[in-house]
Amino acid sequence: MIVPMKKINIVVQSKDTPDALEQLSSLGLVHVENVEPPHSQAVDEVQKDMYMISKAIEILPPAAEDSSRGKIEDWGKIINEILDLRDYRSKLAEKSGKLQRHIDIWDDWGDFDISLIRRLMSKDVYVYLAELPVKEFNSLPPDIFVEVISKSSGLIRCALISGGEREFSFKTAVLPDKRLSEVWAEKKEIEDKISETNRSLEDYARYRNELKMMLGHLAKEIEFEKASAGMGSQGELSYLKGYSPFDKVGDLENAAEKNNWAVLAEDPAAGDNVPTLIKNPKWIEIISPVFNIIKTVPGYREVDISVVFLLFFSVFFAMLIGDAGYGALILAAVIFLSVKSGNKMKDKTPLFLMYVLSIATIIWGVLTGTVFGQVWIKQTFKPLMPWLTVDSNMKELCFIIGAVQLTIAHVWQAARKMPSVIFIADLGWVSVIWGAFFLARTFIVGTEFPVFAGWFFACGISAVLFFTVPFKSFFKDLFPRLITTFLSIIGSFSDVVSYIRLFAVGMASVAIADAFNQMAEGFGWSSAVTGLATVLVLLIGHGLNIVLGAMAVLVHGVRLNVLEFSNHLNMEWSGVEYNPFKGERADLIKNKLEIGGRE
């Protein structure tokens, strides 16, 4: 459920602002809303420090993170040295790249002595380097001595030697400043310096954990500084605005009485950007990792769909993975992780969720007779519910699931709108959805459209048209509303039909499993080689199928809840997560970072 919030206003004497913020931080109850833009010199300085530390962490090689942790005595010195090494390495890499381009150009010419050519030219013996097509090479003047250097890609690289200065119809190469062997030696020297720089950075990597800890401290410090800069002020008083759970207001009032603050707690106004705090029983809370992955937060005045999401997502997961064998593998992996992690894993919610999803998948696989595919076990393992193995039945089941979930959405909406009569419009949408269900059966499954289903559309559309808005506003914007209603009816039919993706993806998963099983059967077990090939085909094939199934869950299983279902609930997922203030004062942090003006 979404926890009700109270809007909090706290007034303190300006001189007591740091202490007041420190007390609020220790309470951890107020989601701060800035009264003024949170800009100050202190904020800028902390942001700069955080940027520099983040850059230093990015530079340090991650492979060395597990090395013994180093204690940093001078933050500024360490950070600057790391960044200096980064800059030095970048310059070396740039120079190495230029040398490599030189090598790429002159490598086919070989390692010739440039000084010798220049001495010859000083004695009127001119040497020209040219890269010519065969036809042009064959038409060179006969009074020029030609030395072929190399040939490739239809081009001939040659030295043209003349007793005097000549002009040619083709372009000749400009002599390089250094011979190739010198360039190679210089590049080798630079690469050695780059390697030495990398070793130095590897040595600094022992400070990575300390840098991360400092970054965490600075994140709290900047939160403190922003809260301070964002407070309003009036004379000798400063005030802070924010939000707190309704059941925590008493704790705030006790702290205010103790610290001589003035506190006003009131209900949020309609236009307030109230943060969302969701609290559920533990069995419902296991779905929270999915919301964390997709990063969605319902608005404060929307609804928490965690229960419905969990129930239907479990069904979707089972149908999309669709195989008891895969479910057993997932369950075994989860059990292994649970045992291996022991008490090391602080939050085991994802594991609990995977227990539910894997068991649901096993149950579905047993019902449909799917264990690493269907073909190979047809004679030995019968589905517990053969009705589910018929395609038309599965399609109809998908439409039923869709109609039921969308019905829940509109009944929920109707309950929220009571006692206003406009709740009847949502009941009308329920009628439309079930009309769409029967229409989908007719178009896709091929069953006859029942006469009574037409009344679902007639009654539903009438209820939607007459009760979407109050009676006094019925004729206002009637024509646009008719168009919108017509499009929404089409959308409802489309939404019900979209649940067929559960059947389509599940069927594709079974087909892939059977295809790899048959491919493996073709190799057989007649020899060690064919046996190995069979094992590889099975491992790769079923492994790939599980990965594709996981992707299908993220794409389709999440979509049906977040889009189709949520749209019928009119949810915009526009919420801001409740994030109580927990900043730290700068003087609470030891080894305060001092970095020079590096950009």
Comparing 410 with 45, the larger pLDDT belongs to 410
Compute the residue count for the chain. 599
How far, in Å, CA of 200 to CA of 202, rounded?
A: 5
pLDDT band at 475 (very low <50, low <70, confident <90, very high): low
Average pLDDT in the 75-90 region?
89
Per-residue CA distances from 331 to 113, 336, 352, 388, 545 (Å): 71, 9, 10, 23, 16
Q: What is the pLDDT of residue 252?
A: 92
439 contacts: CB under 8 Å, gap ≥ 6:
449, 453, 493
pLDDT in tens, 2-14: 999 999 999 999 8
Q: What is the pLDDT of residue 596?
A: 44
Name the DSSP class of 237: E
Nearest Cα residue to 316 out of 375, 402, 245, 225: 402
Q: What is the pLDDT of residue 471?
A: 62
Average pLDDT in the 498-513 region?
92
Number of H helices, E strands in the chain: 21, 8
Q: What is the pLDDT of residue 68?
A: 46
Name the DSSP class of 304: -
Average pLDDT in the 168-182 region?
91
Query: Poorest-confidence range of 13-27, 323-337, 469-483?
Result: 469-483
Q: What is the pLDDT of residue 191?
A: 95
pLDDT over 90 (residue 427): yes
> Taking a C-beta distance cutoff of 8 angstroms, is the pair 39, 235 a contact?
no
Q: What is the pLDDT of residue 477?
A: 67
Percent of the chain with pLDDT over 90: 47
pLDDT in tens, 260-307: 899 999 999 988 899 999 999 999 999 999 998 888 899 999 999 999
How far, in Å, CA of 502 to CA of 364, rounded?
A: 13
- Token pair, residue 517, equals 């099983």
Q: What is the pLDDT of residue 75?
A: 76
pLDDT over 70 (residue 474): no
Backbone φ and ψ of 561, nearest 5°: -80, -45
Q: What is the pLDDT of residue 65?
A: 45
Q: What is the pLDDT of residue 488?
A: 84
22 contacts: CB under 8 Å, gap ≥ 6:
585, 588
Radius of gyration, CA atoms only, the chain: 36
Average pLDDT, the chain: 88
pLDDT in tens, 360-386: 999 999 999 899 888 777 767 788 899
Average pLDDT in the 344-370 region?
91
How far, in Å, CA of 218 to CA of 297, rounded?
A: 26
- Token pair, residue 467, equals 């009760």
pLDDT over 90 (residue 217): no
Q: What is the pLDDT of residue 41?
A: 84
Q: What is the pLDDT of residue 156?
A: 93
Query: Poorest-confidence range of 15-19, 106-110, 358-362, 589-593?
Result: 589-593
Backbone φ and ψ of 217, nearest 5°: -65, -40
Q: What is the pLDDT of residue 72?
A: 61
pLDDT in tens, 535-557: 998 899 999 999 999 999 988 98
pLDDT in tens, 40-79: 888 888 888 888 889 988 888 875 444 445 456 677 888 8
